[in-house]
Amino acid sequence: TGELMPEKIERADSLAWATDNKTIFYVTEDAVTKRSDKLFRHVLGSDKTDLIYEEKDELFDIGTGRTRDNAVIMLEAFSKTSTETRYIPAGNPDAEWKTIIPRQPDHEYDVAHRGNLFYIRTNKGAKNFRVMTAPVSDPSEKNWKEFVAHRPAVKIEGIDLFADHAVLAEWENGLEQIEIIDFKTSKTHRVQFPEPVYSVNLSNNREFKTSVVRYNYQSLTTPSSIFDYDMNTRQATLKKQTEVPGGFDKANYQSERVFATASDGTKIPMSVVYRRNVKLDGSAPMLLNGYGSYGISIPPSFSAARLALLDRGVIFVIAHIRGGGELGEPWRDAGRMMNKINTFTDFIACGEHLIKNKYTSKDRLVIQGASAGGMLMGAVANMRPDLFKAVVAQVPFVDVLNTMLDASLPLTTSEYIEWGNPNEKPAYDYMKKYSPYDNVHRADYPAMLVKVSLNDSQVPYWEGTKLVAKLRDYKTDHNPLLLKVNMGAGHGGASGRYDAYHETAFDYAFMLWQMGIMN
């Protein structure tokens, strides 16, 4: 009828409809801990709301959803390193929830459904994941059959199922890939992309009985572009491309992939973009961005706002350092826990490579990172303050030891798997070596802009504030040291569209000032 129902659900994080079109399952977020921990069932038009499941383990969150074939509702409990999935038939909302695979330490998996089979993307015996099938009637491990084998150089990020095809989202050599498997012929192929540096991800493909998969393609020089790809004919059709105001012409820009050599000999990929008229003689200003935590991959995607830098002659670089996920799970493991310092030395190696190869110089190199990337900024500023002209650290996680020793904070215990548990002496001693706040020392530091948000529940505002206060006491230079507090924002910064633009403009103004660009 188009009428709004009177029911109102608050703090819902994910939801799934039963196929009766009146029963809804939804997960709520706890207001204090920020964990998604309760699953409810509600029938429209009734006062009845049932608590179906509550996740008691504070290391786990939960989420719910319906499979693409509309046959199954899933409930997934997940920590940083473990998963447990339950399910019911979507047509029987009162059914008893069954567990597909009980949670086990260091076992991560997710499940898709087609016909009488579950397709399980699992890291059991497969660091970069493989795909197994299991009968719905008994999906225990004894009934698993291999569908896609593990490959040491390819990480399987996800699997989407259609009536006649399976679609794999993968990372290989630091680039995203889409692989198609034809169920009828068992033949596989990869979608081909035109540029050496790009980002691609599967869109929200809702149809199950279709030969067309939709994906979003972009690069450092190509705006976000939606394609429909026919998995039978292998033809891609552009459906929409984001318009870029101001007469943008991608032919004016050059993107490339270069590699730095880390202190242990590891090759670190970087994605680079600049205007074609920029001279690579060491005189160009540069913005070097990095993150390198949680296995999160930073794709080389397009930014219209970034053109304000590129058109002023700035070279933009993403350092795909260890701790991220660009080269698979081993890449992540090489930059977390007792290997975390690799993240920082990788970033320093990237800066040194770019200077040595005449992309920029020390007095024109500005670096930027947010959240865990803000930790990166603080760590490298302590380790090599001479290497950078300026640092922009946004909502930075910099008081590592004090935060990780305070189990009352919402995210502390769930973060042990990333940084270590400082209640254990080896982890404490290692974290103390790099924690930015604990390693501020008497030295000439680069110019710094530290930005915090008053309502940040993930990285409290006092972390960056404490860092600035300590720097003011210790640093021996007269370079600018700015603290900007956003009084109305959370961890993600300003939420309004134009407020976000104002924040970006502020950051760019600081960067350009430090680069010596005043127009």
The sign one gets for the Cα dihedral 429, 433, 437, 440 is positive
Answer for the pair 335, 322: CB distance below 8 angstroms, yes or no: yes
| Backbone φ and ψ of 91, nearest 5° | -90, 0
Pairing of strands 481-486, 447-453: parallel
List of residues 6+ apart from 154 with CB closer than 8 A: 128, 170, 171, 172, 177, 328
Task: Report how far residue 402's alpha carbon sits from residue 420's, in angstroms, rounded to the nearest whole number.
Answer: 13
Check 82, 271, 371, 453 and give the catalytic one. Answer: 371
Answer for the pair 481, 471: CB distance below 8 angstroms, yes or no: yes
> Among the residues of 3-107, which ranges form H helices?
none
- Is there a catalytic annotation at residue 414? no
Task: State whether residue 499 is helix, strand or coil.
Answer: helix
Answer for the pair 68, 204: CB distance below 8 angstroms, yes or no: no
Answer for the pair 102, 114: CB distance below 8 angstroms, yes or no: no
Task: Report how far residue 58's alpha carbon sits from residue 79's, in angstroms, rounded to the nearest whole number.
Answer: 9
Q: Half-sphere exposure of residue 357, counting CA atoms within 13 Å on the CB side? A: 13
Check 13, 37, 456, 507 and give the catalytic one. Answer: 456
Task: Report how far residue 79's alpha carbon sits from residue 346's, in angstroms, rounded to the nearest whole number.
Answer: 27
- Is there a catalytic annotation at residue 456? yes
C-alpha distance across the termini of the chain, in Å: 56
Q: Which amino acid is at 463?
A: E
Answer for the pair 153, 328: CB distance below 8 angstroms, yes or no: yes
Beta strands in 276-314 (DSSP E): 286-290
List of residues 6+ apart from 41 with CB closer than 8 A: 23, 24, 25, 49, 50, 52, 93
Q: DSSP assignment of 416-448, as one string?
A: HHHH--TTSHHHHHHHHHH-TGGG--SSPPPEE
Residues designated as active site:
371, 456, 491
